[in-house]
Amino acid sequence: MEKSINLRIDHQCPQCGAPATLDETDRLFQCAFCKVKSYLMQRGYFRYLLPHNAATGREMVYFPYWRFKGMIFSCLASGIENRFLDLSQQAVQSPLFPSSVGLRSQAMKLRFVSPETKGWFIRPTLPFQGVMETFLERVNRRMPRPILHQSHIGESLSLIYAPFTVGRRIMDGVLNQPVSKELDETFQISQYAGGPADWRIEFIPTLCPNCGWDLQGRRDALVLSCKHCESMWKASKNGLSRVNVAHLPAASRADTLYLPFWRIKADVSGLELASYADLIRLANLPKVVQPEWNQAPWHFWGPAFKVRPRSFLRLTHQTTLSQPRESLVAAAPPGAMHPVNLPLSESVETLKLNLAGFIRPQKRVETCIPGVQIQPRRYLLVYLPFEVRHHDLVQPSLNIAVNRAQLALAENL
Ligand SMILES: [Zn+2]
Ligand SMILES: [Zn+2]
């Protein structure tokens, strides 16, 4: 397991200008001074820069790096392997600049790129997808073949600009050290396409679009709730959009925490998997198929919160195979809720992996998985009640447990 680092960002309150430090996972920002809440909109990816230490008046050049932080799951003939990755790599191919941001982004506070930042921002020319392939090649070097399927569940994809100055050599603008050999006399930094910074972080107010009440959520919450009209909201292209939500009522009066799960309805082709009965047969579950199950729908399930990769997989399979279908209530739960901090889009990325993990016998995976196509259709955010015990959260009717300490640690992932 590699160490996972949450980047820290120096920031100013968009209302009153007071300084604040954000974690990269923060979405809901409440200013400590004016108390105004705002929500950070993530369109595509966030763009950060490392502040420079160069002498004042120097013309700064900002070089872009893609950064990926997340989990890689590899489906092999022997089972599913997982890795946690936190990597950066040049977003423009260049022998003159360092190949990655290195450790500096972890040791220093970053800032959001803004049009007020002076300097030449080199435009990324390598698409992230290509860089991801390079990351995967590195991961896959030591992996046994064949690799049947791979999914990367990235909680963070961002662009980090590192500062440099250009003289006889390219100088690192943080360490003030040369990073290149002597440059040709004809060298011009404008050989790299770019221009002034043209991006700004966007904020929206956290008011319920339905009733105007103040929305609630933890600082890393991707879904905000309105306690007044009991609706839930997530950021989308056009601001906040309503989330379809349901919960399974708690069976006991024990201290309860509701954990969020994405339930996804999808069409699967290349495999007989249309009904609940098909699911039981494919996973070889010890259940007697009831005739009506041949018509009953089934859904993919997976955590809507961050946990370590191994627990993530286990929870994905346990919930999908137990298909909690009984008496869901089409409303947010009445008690304490764990925040949604894994987006639906990332859960969608796991569907094939989910399937690969429960096909039995295991050796069928190798022949089945390469031909399978999965088309997601509908989603529902479902909160399942877990009893809060000393070390674990326990869902007694589905027989699922989550370690509490692990859930707390996962906030950094
Ligand atoms: Zn403020
Ligand atoms: Zn409301």
**Cβ–Cβ under 8 Å, residues 232 and 224:** yes
Neighbours of ion ligand 1 (CB under 5 A): 13, 15-16, 18, 31, 33-34
**C-alpha 344 – ligand 2 centre gap (Å):** 22
Residue 314 CA, chain-centre distance (Å), reads 18
Q: Alpha-carbon distance 34 to 51, whole Å?
A: 26
Q: Alpha-carbon distance 185 to 174, whole Å?
A: 25
**C-alpha 34 – ligand 1 centre gap (Å):** 4
Question: For residue 48, what pLDDT is reported?
Answer: 96
Nearest to 257 by CA among 380, 410, 408, 37: 408
**C-alpha 169 – ligand 2 centre gap (Å):** 58
Q: Alpha-carbon distance 61 to 401, whole Å?
A: 51
Interacting residues of 64 by C-beta distance below 8 A, sequence separation 6+? 90, 91, 92, 121, 122, 123, 124, 159, 160, 161
Ligand closest to 33 (CA) is: 1
**Phi/psi at 86 (5° precision):** -145, 95
CB crowding 28-66: b at 16 or more within 10 Å, else e:
bbebeeeebbbbbbbeeebbbbbebebeeebebbbbbbb
Q: Alpha-carbon distance 270 to 268, whole Å?
A: 7
With 0-12 / 13-18 / 19 or more C-beta atoms within 10 angstroms meaning exposed / middle / buried, residue 175 is: exposed
Alpha carbons within 13 A on the beta-carbon side of 307: 23
**C-alpha 196 – ligand 1 centre gap (Å):** 28
Ligand closest to 203 (CA) is: 1
Question: For residue 58, what pLDDT is reported?
Answer: 87
**C-alpha 25 – ligand 1 centre gap (Å):** 20
**Cβ–Cβ under 8 Å, residues 121 and 114:** no
Q: Alpha-carbon distance 246 to 327, whole Å?
A: 10
**C-alpha 206 – ligand 1 centre gap (Å):** 14
Q: Alpha-carbon distance 37 to 13, whole Å?
A: 9
Nearest to 388 by CA among 244, 228, 238, 252: 252
Q: Alpha-carbon distance 145 to 109, whole Å?
A: 41
Q: Encoding tokens for residue 355? A: 């399937």
For strands 8-12 and 110-112, give the pairing: parallel
Ligand closest to 215 (CA) is: 2
Rounded to the nearest 10°, the torsion over CA 269, 275, 277, 279 is 50
**C-alpha 261 – ligand 2 centre gap (Å):** 22
Ligand closest to 14 (CA) is: 1
Q: Tell me the mean pLDDT per 10 residues along the chain, length 413.
A: 71 92 92 93 90 89 93 90 89 95 82 94 93 86 91 85 95 93 91 94 93 94 94 90 95 91 96 95 94 95 92 95 88 93 92 94 90 96 96 93 84 59
